[in-house]
Every structure is written in structure tokens, then in C-alpha cells.
Amino acid sequence: MKRIHTFLAIQSVVAILVSINRLGSFTLDYVLPNEFLRWVDLNNMLILPMISLIAFYFLKKTVEYNSPQRESKTHFAINLTFIIGIYLLAAGYGDHEVTNYLHHRFCLEDSSSDLCRIVIFNDDEFSHWVFFAGFILMNAALLFLQNLFPHKEELSKTDIVLLIFNSLFLGAGIFANLGFEDIGLDLYVVAVLALLSVYFLWKKGKQPLFIYYTSANWLGLIASFVAQMFR
């Protein structure tokens, strides 16, 4: 459990850094003199997601243990789903950050050109589809992995408190994305993961990732629903 708490804590730190990166004016400087990207775009595309995905990989390896299930077709399918999810997540990040930068720099005032039309479609539509496909596959794979390799020891009250505490940061990220903007595809993605996590929690009991994802997704959804009511 110490390793699980550590890797979830890293996700919490990344969530804080993402907020600082997006809101801080010091990340708006250009990376190179040719102005190909700002630091905010580079951090969002490469540095912060890489830290997060490395932590997720170590979390995955921590959940797994020696068992006949390691050689099963189910385990193979979950691993394949996890890899596909990581690829799509990375592709979505790459497409979104570059086109979002170009959109806001060159196409806010006049979006009538074919170039701006393509840039805006990649920024607002296509990159989101690819990102959310990867997001749901990778996180669903972790939930199915926890189901395949249940934690053998009973969780202490301290463990549960720490899991819920770390889930607050993911829940805050969900709230930031759903609470103050027009809701789109992201609502359905979070809702699917919320239903999946609560199903596993009800079916299999108090497993670390079931608690973490149920708490994060439902807190984020409820807070977003309340915020949308007062918009």
C-alpha cells in the first residue's frame, strides 16, 4: 500500500503542477527564439504527462503480483488495452497542445481561412476524441487489473483516508474541466469510469483503485453538477 499511495500522490502533485502551469504567467514565454511553442504548451505536452504516465506504469506493476492470472488471456488483453490507451493519450496531448497554441495565437480574430479551420478542428474536436479514448482505455485497464489482481490485505482506515485524500486532486481536475465550461464528450467519459468504478466497488469490495476512482469521479461529477446549476 505504501507504493500505491506514493504513485497516487505523484498523480496529485502532477495535478497541482498542471494547474500552476496553466494559470501561471511565467510559463507563457517561448521555448526557443523561433517561437514554435510556449513553455505552457511544452510542459502540458511532454513533461507533465510523462511524469504521470510513468507513475501510472509503476502503479500498474505494483497492483500485479505472481499469480496464474499473469499468464491468462485476460491479463494479456488488459495489458494491450493499457498500451493502446497510453498511445492514444499521448497522440491526443500532442495534437491538442500544438493546435491550441496555433489557434489562440493566429486564429482567434479571424478563423475564416482553411488553415485556421483545420487548426481549430484539431484543437477543439479531433484531439479531444483521441485524448478521451486513451484516457478511458488506460484508466479502465487499471480498474480491470485491480479486479484481476485483488489486494490481499484488508485496508486500514488510514489507507482509505489516504486514498480518498489523493482522489480529491483528480476530482478537482474533473471539476475544473466540467464545472465552468459547456459540457461535452468529457462528461460521458467521466460518467463511464464513475459507473465502472462504483460497480467494481460494489461487486468486489474495498480495493485501493476502486476506492480511489469512485471517490474522484463521483466527487468531480457532483461538484460539476452543482456548479453548472449556478452558471
> What is the tens place of the pLDDT at every residue in 31-89?
999 999 999 999 999 999 999 999 999 999 999 988 888 889 999 999 999 999 999 99
Asked if the model's pLDDT at residue 183 lies above 90, the reply is no
pLDDT in tens, 2-40: 999 999 999 999 988 988 898 888 999 999 999 999 999
Asked if the model's pLDDT at residue 231 lies above 70, the reply is no
Q: pTM score, two decimals?
A: 0.90
Distance from first CA to last CA of the chain, Å, rounded?
40
98 band by pLDDT with thresholds 50, 70 and 90: very high
**Per residue in 69-97, is it b (16+ CB within 10 Å) or e — as a string?**
eeeeeebeebeebbeebbebbbebbbbbb
The whole-chain average pLDDT of the chain stands at 92
